[in-house]
Amino acid sequence: MIKKLTLLTLLLFSLSIYCQEKDPIKDYKHYIENEQVISENKEPAHASFTSFASKENALKNNPQFHKSLNGTWKFNWVKNPKDRPTQFMKSNYDDSNWGNIKVPSNWEVEGFGIPIYVNHQYEFTDYKAMIADDMELIDRIYPKNPGDVPDNYNPVGTYRRDFTIDKVWDDKEIFLHIGAMKAGGFVWLNGEYIGYSQGSKLPSEFNITKAAKTEKNTIAIQIFRWTDGSYLECQDFWRISGIERDVFIYAQPKTRIQDFEVVSTLDKTYENGVFSLDVDIKNHSPKSENISVSYELSRDGKVVSSEEKKIQATKSSSTSTNFEAMIPNVKPWSAEHPDLYSLIIETKDKKGNIIEITNRKIGFRSVEIKNGLLLVNGQRITLKGVNAHEVDPETGHVMSEELIKKDIQLWKENNINAVRLAHYPRGRHFYELCDEYGIYVVDEANIESHGMYYGKYSLAKVASWENAHVDRMVRMVERDKNHPSVIIWSMGNEAGNGINFYEGYKAIKANDKTKRPVQYERPYKDDDGSLYDMDWNTDIIVPQYPSPARFEEIGKSKTDRPYIPSEYAHAMGNSTGNFQDYWDIIEQYDNLQGGFIWDWVDQSIWKTNENGERYYAYGGDYGKNMPSDNTFLNNGIVFPDRTPQPALYEVKKAHEFINFKHKGINRHDELRVLVENLYDFTNLNQFNFKAEIKADGKVLQTINIDTISTEEHTGKLIRIPLKGITIEDNTEYFVHLSTTTKEVWGVLPKGFEVAREQLSLTSKFKQVKTELEEGLKLNISENQSRITISNKTLNIVFDKNKGRITSYNFNGTELLKDGKGLKPNFWRAMTDNDFGNKMQNKNIAWKRASLEFKVSNVDYKTLENEAISMTVSYNLPGVETTFVSNYTINGNGVIHIENILNETPYEGDIPRIGMRLQIPKSYEKLSYFGRGPHENYQDRKASAFVDLYTSKVSEQYVPYIRPQDNGYKTDSRWISLSDENNNGLLFVSGSKNYLSFSALHMENEDFDTTSGLDYKNSDKSKHTIDIKEKDLVQLNIDLGQRGLAGDDSWYSKPMEKYQFKGNQKHSYSFYMIPFENKTTDDFIRLNKAYHNHN
């Protein structure tokens, strides 16, 4: 291992010489505007570990020589380097007029400076430098002098604090560890310059032995917001600064464990463990020492291997020793079963006295690519992954261990088995938790030069930037090499391809004895994005944002490498449409081995307005005239506080490791179900299976299914008896299948549901037409502006000019709010994806049709059964077609509405086909039989089963950070809204096309910020605090909406099958039924009567 580090050590040494005799105060630009100066006096990278003085302390994780420097520091912030303090490093410097700051923290979040969010541009560079007028546009967008940072605005944060060192630390080597420092910083101790570092997502460690003193010490750190290193940190996240991870000092003996590398793989049978341990010993003393080095490997307290070797630790240098062993019948590590072994490394002096001990958990697992497939422990695996940024809405980029655990818990609960660390390594504890709980990790180097793009200006092609690229990759590998959870190295993201990534690939392969696969998402030979012309420096094909059709094309054509998109299913706002479509395709082809959703969590941070209201802020909410990409950082499937968004339930469903397939009902009245085991290392016998048979949402029978013993990647046919069920006409029957854990499984408790399915039995049973109650005879009167229809219990007023009912009075109760009865609606409050695919331009005529429709004709007649039939025709401007509504009004108050949208020459798909009305806010109780309980749309409903749901209108709002359409439900047979006395309105689907609906205490307009044809609120509804409940229920009763889409958020529309096209006629119908003192059983009965009447 010593030999392996030689190249990196020489590199750092050469850089140290290069920096000699430079004053970090006067010559600061030599450091922060020089891509070849990446550090000074920094320790070589090494595996993360803790030094202990005894085995007892190691087992208790109680290091004696470790001191945290987290907490309150004195802090000075200035806008410009010229205004920064320059004598602050002196121990007697007066910092009494400075402020205070928490460490770790981001100083912008703590109130110093302005948080900036941009996606792929550099927030600090001059894009307006003088260039030739005839230069092509593509050449105009690049920074003209990469490496330069601004003088006029480059904030500098200066930190100071005192600490003490106990006398017992004497005669030891003392090190300072700064977990993450953004973007570049200088360090002093007791007035003595210690060193410089950049590369903000890996530790900076310095040997401070010579400068440290017993008792009081003063540490001073000066950090620049931007350095040349910032050109490699152009990631899609908040551009904020400071000390973002733990700061501590630690001490080791003069003859110390410097580094160690564990290679713990499996042999060719994948049954026995192959163990190799390299230990580097650094002797800081001026004479050689005879010592012993030993290891002990155990599992569950039982030692499975151990060995001791005597070596001579050469004076003032490093010495390496190696151990090897075979461990028979090893328990392998995988994300499903993260079995770990305890490793203890111990050094002793020649008398047998303990010098130093360290320990860590290791796992035996192999990672390899064979025949174009990614294998773990010899098994083809599927990565059901997310991209995850390091973010907390309270603290910015600073995450507590509790929040990290919460993320992992949620991943495990929702069938997410992998994470890509976008786009930088995490802190040490993250990997330890992934080792323990079982998450596959793609560890990514902190490299993204997106603002230089991918062509001739890409920094990947500039030789002077090679060291800056390779150093970040190698340091990541050296620190994280011993974690079994890390199965893939990623060289970076969106930084072009060229010599620096060729050299990076070779350096990673040279430094990782485990030989993990290396990936990079942009290794195209000709920068053309062709998956069929991939360069050699990636072991996995990891493109971004392929559509389901692209997945299928790749699956059919095969590939010479695994196909695992590094980013797909862009989840911005109300998104993640057609996610089940992705997985229906992925599960068909071996070379399609999953992908990583962009991304896990919305990145907004809390901000408080002048009224004391907290809200989630995004780009543009801080400062004036600052660069911003607005809300493009909110692409999560959970909100910033980790509250699940509806999309998460869809992800869990699509990611399930168990499939249930309907195989028909046999002659013995048994439902045949094929149960497929998609786990890679788990037999289904560790789960309980249960079936519930439901009729119209009511449980008829619960069946506990015998244990299903099925090996991974196989299936078994089971039979569910149906003989005990009495079949009724006009009734829908479903079988609900549920799989739960038999015992505690990692973070999952006993009885936790890991998979579920709903299978319909309705096709077996009859639907019979029923007769309807007609009610009292109706009277009708008309004047120039309105038609009134009434009897003793009913009074309906229809406004002929508005084309809508303005009063609907049943038994003396007005059912409408402010006269706002049903009217046509073809528009929805635009989602983030709608904005991305330019619905505001391509489909805007449908908004005009909704706002400016004209009533062209109103006809009515009395039917044979004394009901009144009234037909209303609307001309729809902009789309050049008509919408026709036929109201059949019965004497019992029931209104049957039949709608037809005729064909149109307008090319834009129809965002929505439906009607809207408002009813009193008191109708708060919501019941329905349809898909739920969470929000769902036609292309995101696999996880929302058809069932009987009872809720409240006030619980339907989904607070997307930028307000947009929300709270929708599809495939509803009936919907009821009622007050506390169980009086209200029931809506029953009257055709094969079930209803889709939303019911909120806000109007559609409150969520719509479309410019043009706006609602005078385009500047008002930008955050959740702009959304207030109103004294109403806004009800949308629709045939449906276009899908949400989700391939990306800047181009792609919903898939064709999830669009409503104008080149055909669309029709649907429903009944509107007033009721008093009715229950769910009454609604079911009325649905049987009305839904099946036609």
Q: Is residue 137 helix, strand or coil?
A: helix
Instruction: For the chain, give the mean pLDDT.
Output: 93
Q: Is residue 428 helix, strand or coil?
A: helix
pLDDT for the residue 738: 98
Q: Does domain 255-362 have CATH number 2.60.40.10?
A: yes
Q: Is pLDDT larger for residue 8 or for residue 926?
A: 926
pLDDT for the residue 762: 79
Mean per-residue pLDDT for 44-53? 97
Q: How far apart are CA 997 and CA 999, in angstroms?
A: 7
Q: How far apart are CA 668 and CA 671, in angstroms?
A: 9
Percent of the chain with pLDDT over 70: 94
Q: Is residue 1041 helix, strand or coil?
A: strand
Q: Which CATH superfamily is domain 658-762 in?
A: Immunoglobulins (2.60.40.10)
CA distances 666 to 662, 721, 727, Å, are: 12, 10, 16
The pTM for the full model equals 0.95
Q: What is the pLDDT of residues 418-471, one digit of tens each?
A: 999 999 999 999 999 999 999 999 999 999 999 998 988 999 999 999 999 999
DSSP 646-707: HHHHHHHHHT-SEEEEEEEE-TTSEEEEEEEE--SS--GGGEEEEEEEEETTEEEEEEEEPP
Q: How far apart are CA 518 and CA 137, in angstroms?
A: 35
**pLDDT level of residue 143 (50, 70, 90 thresholds):** confident
Q: How far apart are CA 384 and CA 377, in angstroms?
A: 17
Q: How far apart are CA 274 and CA 305, in angstroms?
A: 11
Before 104, cis peptide (omega within 30)? Answer: yes
Give which of 676, 718, 758, 752 is closest to 941, Cα–Cα.
Answer: 758
Query: In the numeric block, which tokens belong to residue 318?
Result: 């490093």
Dihedral sign for Cα atoms in the order 154, 635, 518, 267: positive
pLDDT for the residue 20: 58
Domain boundaries, the chain: 3-44+63-253, 255-362, 382-459+480-601+636-653, 658-762, 779-853+865-1091
* Three-class HEC string of 39-79: EECCCCCCCCCCCECCHHHHHCCCCCCEEECCEEEEEEEEC
Q: What is the pLDDT of residues 1012-1042, one digit of tens each?
A: 665 444 456 699 999 999 999 999 999 999 9
User: Cα(first)–Cα(last) distance of the chain, in Å?
Assistant: 79
Q: Pairing mode, if any, of strands 71-78 and 66-68? A: unpaired
Percent of the chain with pLDDT over 90: 87
Residues 6+ apart with CB under 8 A from 916: 822, 823, 825, 1004, 1034, 1035, 1036, 1037
DSSP state of 349: E
Q: Among 12-26, 798-812, 1000-1014, where is mean pLDDT lowest?
A: 12-26
pLDDT for the residue 278: 98
Q: Are 711 and 665 contacting, i.e. CB atoms less than 8 angstroms apart? A: no
Instruction: Fill in the amino acid letter for 302.
Output: K
* pLDDT reading at 251 higher than 70: yes
**pLDDT level of residue 1002 (50, 70, 90 thresholds):** very high
pLDDT for the residue 142: 73
**Residues known to be catalytic:** 494, 567
pLDDT for the residue 1091: 81
**pLDDT level of residue 140 (50, 70, 90 thresholds):** low
pLDDT for the residue 993: 87
**pLDDT level of residue 133 (50, 70, 90 thresholds):** very low
**pLDDT level of residue 723 (50, 70, 90 thresholds):** confident
pLDDT for the residue 259: 98
Helix axes 6-19, 466-480, angle to 10 degrees: 130
Q: How far apart are CA 366 and CA 263, in angstroms?
A: 10
Q: What is the pLDDT of residues 475-491, one digit of tens each?
A: 999 999 999 999 999 99
pLDDT for the residue 1094: 47
Phi-psi map region of 274: left, alpha, beta (phi>0 left; psi -120 to 50 alpha): beta
pLDDT for the residue 770: 62
Q: Are 1062 and 881 contacting, i.e. CB atoms less than 8 angstroms apart? A: yes
**Which residues make beta-bridge pairs with 192?**
189
Q: Is residue 586 helix, strand or coil?
A: helix
Instruction: Fill in the amino acid letter for 1091.
Output: H
Q: How far apart are CA 1018 and CA 962, in angstroms?
A: 12
CA distances 474 to 491, 503, 509, 541, Å, are: 10, 11, 10, 22
pLDDT for the residue 10: 42
Q: Are 347 and 358 contacting, i.e. CB atoms less than 8 angstroms apart? A: no
Q: How far apart are CA 21 and CA 424, in angstroms?
A: 32
Phi-psi map region of 336: left, alpha, beta (phi>0 left; psi -120 to 50 alpha): alpha
pLDDT for the residue 865: 85
pLDDT for the residue 768: 63
Q: How far apart are CA 701 and CA 698, in angstroms?
A: 9
CA distances 145 to 136, 223, 447, 459, 937, Å, are: 18, 22, 18, 11, 48
What ranges in 858-935 are assigned the alpha helix state H?
A: none
Q: Indicate the helix (H) or strand (E) that contains 214.
A: none
Query: In the numeric block, which tokens belong to residue 290?
Result: 């005879």
* pLDDT reading at 1093 higher than 90: no
* pLDDT reading at 127 higher than 50: no
Dihedral sign for Cα atoms in the order 254, 510, 368, 680: positive
pLDDT for the residue 767: 59
Q: What is the pLDDT of residues 573-606, one digit of tens each?
A: 999 999 999 999 999 999 999 999 999 999 999 9
Would 3-44+63-253 and 255-362 be classified into the same CATH topology?
no
pLDDT for the residue 1092: 61
pLDDT for the residue 495: 95
Q: Is residue 939 helix, strand or coil?
A: coil
Q: What is the pLDDT of residues 260-274, one digit of tens each?
A: 999 999 999 999 999
What ranges in 84-242 are assigned the alpha helix state H?
A: 137-140
Q: Are 506 and 469 contacting, i.e. CB atoms less than 8 angstroms apart? A: no
Query: CATH assignment of 779-853+865-1091, given 2.70.98.10, 2.40.160.10, 1.10.10.10, 3.30.413.10?
Result: 2.70.98.10
* pLDDT reading at 4 higher than 60: no
Q: Among 327-336, 426-435, 821-830, 859-868, where is mean pLDDT lowest?
A: 859-868
Q: How far apart are CA 554 and CA 1007, in angstroms?
A: 39
Q: Which CATH superfamily is domain 382-459+480-601+636-653 in?
A: Glycosidases (3.20.20.80)
Strand order across the beta sheet in which 204-207 lies: 66-68, 247-253, 172-178, 204-207
Decide: residue 802, CB within 10 A, 0-12 exposed, 13-18 middle, 19+ buried: middle
pLDDT for the residue 579: 98
Topology (CATH) of 3-44+63-253? Jelly Rolls (2.60.120)
Number of helices (H) and strands (E) in the chain: give both, helices first. 15, 59
Q: What is the pLDDT of residues 527-575, one digit of tens each?
A: 666 666 789 999 999 999 999 999 999 999 989 999 999 999 999 999 9
95-110 in b/e form (b: 16+ CB < 10 A) is beebeebbbbbbbbbb
